DNA sequence: GTCTATACGCTGATAGAC
DNA sequence: GTCTATCAGCGTATAGAC
């Protein structure tokens, strides 16, 4: 039972929010400090370099996804429904804060990221794509999906559509995000 | 016949490249100045504020697209082929420099952009979506397309897929971009 | 752990000489 | 048009007191 306020976690929460909102080059330690009513230097105590903070955020997001995936694996639902749950993650981003997903934010900033963050980004994206691929492949074997081409390609397609939609909706809202997910489903699930 | 070197155009060309590569907050006047071997202050002569430069880039890209669209309209090709030509624009980004498209770059930075740039971004994205919608709608009327839902939703779906794919490929390359366009086609063109 | 103080390069931007 | 000089503010980051 933790009663102590976890400053480190708070820093990460706020920084992750800022990252999704403004991109890696669009926020500073000052922004975080002000939000927490602490001083700039205090953040350096937890994360000596901004790179450390960035890496920690990506790594945590990866673990969060893996935990989510484990929860989904336990559920007794069909593969199409699992893909649907995946789409719901993105829907949350759109509806709550018009935020971009972490992958998309990191990808557009990719060439400006320090090497360690680039590495973590690749791992993060791979983790998600591999999960999608696994679900698609298994679902196809059980005739719950029907699509041409490899599961890998299909995974890329799904991820692309969701990620792009989340971003576009930001500037053209309100536009039905559900319309995108419906098309993704129809593309894999015309069985 | 212009023989004079157009510094203003050169600045815009380099800035646009930097914008696609690094995002709006990821490049500075210094970067442009160094690339052109001129001084920081000289750029301010052409574009007093960075906002002016940003707006000019978006506006030019919009006009470039409109010109492209006019060229496509003149071509005696079917609607599916027109969508295919549209996909090829994105393919160029991926294959040449692993660059992100302008819309995607601006969208992820959206909340950090000055108001004038936000406005131009909306206009730019709308222009493209409206073109797509028009082509999809006309093609559907001629039975060259077959899709459910509105042309508007379908336009969003296509744009999302392409934009997302271009970004993801950046970190997971080499991944077949064509696989994404093939799926987009199959989704609208199963006639 | 959190603070104050401080370093220093980079940022967008301006004034004025040539 | 392009330059030099200069600016104030912000960026990440460190040292050391409390």
* Domain CATH for A95: 1.10.357.10
Give a yes or no: residue B42 inside a domain: no
Phi, then psi, of A146 in degrees rounded to 5: -145, 105
Instruction: Check whether B2 has a pLDDT greater than 60.
Output: no
Instruction: Check whether B166 has a pLDDT greater than 90.
Output: yes
Phi, then psi, of B146 in degrees rounded to 5: -145, 105
pLDDT band for position B32 (50/70/90)? very high
pLDDT band for position B83 (50/70/90)? very high
Q: How far is Cα B87 from Cα B20, in angstroms, rounded to an integer?
A: 18
B66, B163 in Cβ contact below 8 A? no
Sorted by sequence, the CB contacts under 8 Å of residue B24 that are 6+ apart come out as: B54, B105, B106, B109, B112, B113, B117
- pLDDT recorded at residue B3: 53
Instruction: Check whether B4 has a pLDDT greater than 70.
Output: no
Q: What does the CA dihedral A82, A84, A85, A86 come to, rounded to 10 degrees?
A: 90
Give a yes or no: residue A111 inside a domain: yes
Pure H helices in A3-114: 7-22, 29-36, 40-46, 50-74, 79-97, 102-108
B190 or B11: which leads in pLDDT: B11
Give a yes or no: residue A5 inside a domain: no
Q: How far is Cα B95 from Cα B88, in angstroms, rounded to an integer?
A: 10
Average pLDDT over residues A25-30: 98
- pLDDT recorded at residue B176: 82
Instruction: Check whether B175 has a pLDDT greater than 80.
Output: no
Give a yes or no: residue B106 inside a domain: yes
What SS3 class is residue A160? Answer: helix
- pLDDT recorded at residue B84: 96
* CB nearest A104 (choices: B108, B118, B172): B108
Rounded CA Rg of chain A:
18
What SS3 class is residue A129? Answer: helix
Give a yes or no: residue A47 inside a domain: no
Instruction: Check whether A4 has a pLDDT greater than 90.
Output: no
pLDDT band for position A25 (50/70/90)? very high
pLDDT band for position A5 (50/70/90)? confident
What SS3 class is residue A28? Answer: coil
DSSP string computed for chain B: ---S--HHHHHHHHHHHHHHHH-GGG--HHHHHHHHT--HHHHHHH-SSHHHHHHHHHHHHHHHHHHHHHHHHHS---HHHHHHHHHHHHHHHHHHH-PPPHHHHHHHTGGGS-HHHHHHHHHHHHHHHHHHHHHHHHHHHTTS-B-SS-HHHHHHHHHHHHHHHHHHHHHH-S--HHHHHHHHHHHHB--
State pLDDT tens for residues A51-67. Answer: 999 999 999 999 999 99
Q: Do A26 and B160 touch (CB under 8 A)?
A: no
Give a yes or no: residue A26 inside a domain: no
* Percent of chain A whose pLDDT exceeds 90: 86
B61: nearest Cα among B16, B27, B114: B16
* CB nearest A25 (choices: B25, B156, B170): B25
Q: Do A23 and B23 touch (CB under 8 A)?
A: yes
A97-122 as b/e, with b when 16 or more CB fall inside 10 Å?
A: ebbbbbbbbbbbbbbbbeeebbebbe
Q: Is the dihedral of CA B109, B114, B119, B124 positive or negative?
A: negative
Interface A:B, Cβ pairs < 8 A = 171
pLDDT band for position A86 (50/70/90)? very high
A contacts of B107 (beta carbons < 8 Å): 100, 167-168, 170-171
Q: What's the Å distance between residue B45 CA and nucleotide D8 C1'?
A: 20
First to last CA, chain A: 49
What SS3 class is residue A146? Answer: strand
Average pLDDT over residues B63-91: 97
Q: What's the Å distance between residue B8 CA and nucleotide D18 C1'?
A: 55
Q: What's the Å distance between residue A49 CA and nucleotide D16 C1'?
A: 19
What's the full length of chain B, in residues? 191
What SS3 class is residue A155? Answer: helix
- pLDDT recorded at residue B24: 98
Using the CB atom, is residue A45 less than 7 Å from strand C? yes
DSSP annotation of A142 reads T
Q: Do A25 and B26 touch (CB under 8 A)?
A: yes
Sorted by sequence, the CB contacts under 8 Å of residue B183 that are 6+ apart come out as: A149, A153, A154, A157, A187, B161
The neighbouring-strand residues paired with A189 are: A146
- pLDDT recorded at residue B67: 98
Give a yes or no: residue A15 inside a domain: no
B150 or B2: which leads in pLDDT: B150
pLDDT band for position A190 (50/70/90)? low
- pLDDT recorded at residue A111: 98
Q: Mean pLDDT of all residues in chain A? A: 94
Instruction: Check whether A147 has a pLDDT greater than 80.
Output: yes
Q: How far is Cα B136 from Cα B143, in angstroms, rounded to an integer?
A: 10
Domain that holds residue B152: 55-188
- pLDDT recorded at residue A173: 80
B127-160 as b/e, with b when 16 or more CB fall inside 10 Å?
A: bbbebbbebbbebbeeebbebeeebbbbbbbbbb
Within residues 77-96 of protein chain A, the ones with CB less than 7 A from nucleic strand C are none
pLDDT band for position A69 (50/70/90)? very high
- pLDDT recorded at residue B174: 76
pTM for the full predicted model: 0.96
Q: Total domain count for chain B?
A: 1
Give a yes or no: residue B33 inside a domain: no
Alpha-carbon distances, residue A139 vs A56, A129, A132 (angstroms): 33, 15, 10
The region of weakest confidence among A83-97, B65-79, B167-181 is B167-181
Instruction: Check whether A1 has a pLDDT greater than 60.
Output: no
Average pLDDT over residues B45-55: 98
């Amino acid at each position: 039972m933790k009663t102590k306020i976890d400053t480190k976690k708070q820093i990460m929460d706020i920084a992750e929010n800022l990252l999704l909102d403004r991109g890696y080059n669009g926020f500073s330690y000052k922004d975080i400090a002000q939000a927490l009513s602490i001083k700039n230097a205090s953040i350096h105590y937890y994360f000596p370099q901004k790179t450390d903070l960035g890496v920690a955020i990506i790594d945590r997001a990866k673990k969060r996804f893996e935990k989510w995936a484990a929860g989904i694996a336990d559920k007794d639902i069909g593969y199409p429904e699992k893909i649907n749950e995946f789409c719901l993650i993105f829907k949350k981003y759109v509806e709550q804060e018009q935020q971009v997903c972490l992958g998309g934010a990191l990808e557009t900033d990719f060439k400006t990221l320090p090497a360690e963050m680039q590495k973590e980004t690749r791992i993060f994206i791979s983790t998600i794509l591999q999960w999608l691929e696994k679900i698609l492949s298994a679902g196809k074997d059980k005739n719950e999906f029907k699509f041409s081409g490899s599961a890998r390609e299909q995974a890329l397609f799904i991820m692309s559509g969701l990620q792009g939609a989340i971003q576009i909706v930001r500037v053209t809202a309100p536009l039905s995000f559900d319309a995108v997910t419906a098309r993704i489903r129809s593309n894999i699930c015309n069985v």
